[in-house]
A and B are shown apart, each in its own frame.
Chain A
């Protein structure tokens, strides 16, 4: 087969090559020695790796490692929290996905640290910005280790008013004077929330 001269539109099931010519790349599969497309898109051939793949014309917007998400903490445990995702890379996401936020190394009181002072990097109801660091077993694993990641808005656990930034790890309530611990994002408090 000669090298294609122009971008070619292909649809699911279309024959792209035989497996002696190319290796199946992304959005392709090998079916009895024939490489076929898995999606509608344009064909991309890499002459170095001898890989043929399809650049999709439409993608279902799945999560990838290094994406960032914003969501609300639904439940917390000693070393993890459940985050309901509302924004994916800054765009609204209404697919009801939840991620598992790792708090290991942030919360204290983990394994081997029995008796250490327990801090609370996130609490239920906080709005957090997180990085996707793994998708192992189909679970969206999140972390907030970077300065830009962490709690971006929170409400007071006592009176329910928005908390204000105190120090690097403290937030305080101007209404009732309550002070709480958090792992704050650099821009904490700049997102307006109504109580």
Chain B
């Protein structure tokens, strides 16, 4: 069956896994699991299982890459050989190199690299099990790992993907929807600052569909942001002190 012909959503608007068009898969976030890293986070997003670890700020090697006025942010997105149905070659693929690059560019607006001159901050994202949307899940986990490491950040970064299946805009595509659908749109945002740090589009969208998918990705990203806050709250404040905006507490 050609791409786009598989029935991925029925007349009632239910998807293959029973979700509605605007529903996210179940998400679980944990912070601070890797003892030897300066910061770490683990995310389960549907069937995705991803570990992110941050090392640094540390000395830059090779030395010629040192930036005199800011930190060098390095990201490495990697899929374990056992993360997909058929064994994947562990060597970095073209796709992984590209995702590492877009991940760095998505995180860089949030990290205050100017506070750590002549150092390197390394972000390692290891996909243990993959099921579509792993780049946005990786960005979400990496942002938590950076916050766990105590790196100064203007805001957390949260990712969410939307896309089109059978001509309809839906949130959070899984692997089959990604492959068989009409296109996907991973988006990463800095929710408090209202900035978009990643926007990739695959497929052909009308202006209205693009607008709808983009707004849905931001809306769902904010939902994930709430889960990020809960995970950091549990890590730093024992889950007891309710993390709230200062203005709300004061009033």
- CB-CB contacts below 8 Å: A57-99 with B: 57-62, 95-98
Interface of A is mostly: loop
A–B pairs, 10, beta carbons within 8 Å = A1-B246, A10-B246, A13-B153, A29-B112, A36-B192, A38-B154, A57-B236, A62-B57, A96-B58, A97-B58
B57 & A40 in contact (Cβ 8 Å cutoff): no
Answer yes or no: B118 CB below 8 A from chain A CBs.
Answer: yes
Contacts of B58 in A (CB 8 A): 95-97
Q: A95-B57, A96-B61 are in contact. Are A12 and B243 (CB under 8 A)?
A: no
The smallest beta-carbon distance between B1 and chain A, in angstroms, is 45
Main secondary structure of the interface of B (DSSP, over half): loop
B251 touches A2 (CB 8 A): yes
Measured between beta carbons, the chain A residues less than 8 angstroms from B249 are 4-6, 8
Interface residues on B, range: 35 or more
Name the interface size band of chain A.
Answer: 35 or more
Please report the C-alpha to C-alpha distance between residue A61 and residue B121 in the assembled complex, in whole angstroms. Answer: 13
Near A by CB (< 8 A), chain B positions 53-98 give 55-59, 61, 68-69
Query: In the complex, are the beta carbons of B56 and A60 less than 8 A apart?
Result: yes
How many cross-chain pairs have Cβ atoms below 8 Å apart between A and B? 120
A1 touches B112 (CB 8 A): no
- Interface segment out of the listed B6-14, B15-23, B144-152: B144-152
Measured in the bound complex, the distance between the Cα atoms of B175 and A70 in whole Å is 51
A109 to B55, CA, bound (A): 41
Complex Cα–Cα for A137 and B66 (A): 12
B246 touches A12 (CB 8 A): no
Measured CA separation A38–B114 after assembly (Å): 13
Known: A36-B192, A60-B151. A1 touches B57 (CB 8 A): no
Q: A56 contacts the other chain (Cβ, under 8 Å)?
A: yes
